[in-house]
Structure 1
Amino acid sequence: MPLSGHCLCKAVTYTVDIDAPLLTGYDHCDDCQRQSGSTYSLVVVVPKDKLKTQGPIKKWKGVADSGNAVWRWFCEECGSPIAHDPDAAPEIIALKGGSLDVELKKTLKPDTEIWTVSKLPFCQEHLEKPFSHMPQ
């Protein structure tokens, strides 16, 4: 089943022609906490070449601890985060799980946590595959 989603105002929509994400998990890095305004970002990693977007996407260049750029995609109209696109892994993109269509969000099965070194102490969930930093 292809993935699909949109921003809050629906000006940005997207589809991903895949059967299942490559990875679904929580990103606890400080940047994701700030962008999501929450304790972590639910990410759905997909092949970048399978992603098709429509609408006014703005991209902001951040810098990862490695020194590589991480492009934050968001709706130019409402500011909803859509994805983060790491230069260090050009073949993938991490969609913000909250932007998926409602019925698709309900089927997600996160099993991976990254950047647990930044995990806030009150987060009580512990997923099957934790990584203190970015997995290699």
Structure 2
Amino acid sequence: MPLTGHCLCKAVTYTADVDAPLLTGYDHCDDCQRQSGSTYSLVVVVPKEKLSTNGPIKKWKGTADSGNAVYRWFCSECGSPIAHEPEAAPIIALKGGSLDTEIKKTLKPDTEIWTASKLPFCQEHLAKPFEHMPQ
């Protein structure tokens, strides 16, 4: 079943033509904390080539610790975060909260990344932890 989702105002919609995500997890990096406005970002990772989008997406270019670009996608109408896309990798991390409601209910996060940036009051392990990105 494909993964489908949209922004808050529904101006941006997307479909990831996959049977299942490559990874579903909690991303504790500082940038994801800031983009989500929370202690971490729930991410659903899919191959870039499997994602199709419609609507007014704006991309902001940031720099990862590796020095490579990371593009943060959001709706240019309502500002909802949609995804982050590491330029140097063939994947894109959809923001779990932007998935359609019935799909969100079926998610089973199994991984934590960037636990090196995990906030001290959030120290209970939510899933399989990696200090940075899994290798």
5+ unaligned residues in a row in structure 2: which ranges?
A: none
Residue 110 of structure 1 and its aligned partner are, at CA, apart by 0.3
The two structures, once aligned, show a CA RMSD in angstroms of 0.9
Give the 3 Å change call, closer, same or farther, for CA 128–26 of structure 1 in structure 2: closer
Counterparts of 1:128 and 1:80, CA distance in 2: 26
Tell me which residue corresponds to 1:133.
Answer: 132
**Which runs of structure 2 are paired with 1:5-20 in the superposition (5 Å)?**
5-20=5-20
Cα shift at 1:121: 1.4
- The share of aligned pairs that are identical, in percent, is 87
Aligned to 1:70, the other structure's residue is in SS state strand
**Residue 95 of structure 2 aligns with which residue?**
96
CA distance in 2, matches of 1:102, 1:125: 26
How many residues align structurally? 135
Q: Does structure 1 conserve the Cα–Cα contact (< 8 Å) formed by 2:25 and 2:127?
A: no
How far does residue 88 in structure 1 lie from its aligned partner after superposition?
2.0
2: distance between equivalents of 1:35 and 1:129?
23
Number of the residue aligned with 1:112? 111
Question: Normalization by structure 1: what TM-score?
Answer: 0.96
* In 2: Cα distance, 1:44 partner to 1:16 partner: 10
Deviations 1:22-56 (A, max 9, x none): 00000000000000000000000001111010000
- Alpha-carbon distance in 2 for matches of 1:21, 1:86: 16
- 1:45 paired residue number: 45
Task: Give the residue type in structure 1 aligned to 2:79.
Answer: G
Partner residue in 2 for 1:57: 57
| SS of corresponding position for 1:33 | helix
CA distance in 2, matches of 1:50, 1:27: 21
Q: Secondary structure at the match of 2:43?
A: strand
Gaps of 5+ in 1: none
Divergent runs of 4+, >6 A: none
User: For residues 110 and 19 of structure 2, what CA distance do their matches in structure 1 show?
Assistant: 17
1: CA distance, partners of 2:61 / 2:109: 27
Is the 8 Å Cα contact of residues 82 and 94 (structure 2) preserved in structure 1? yes
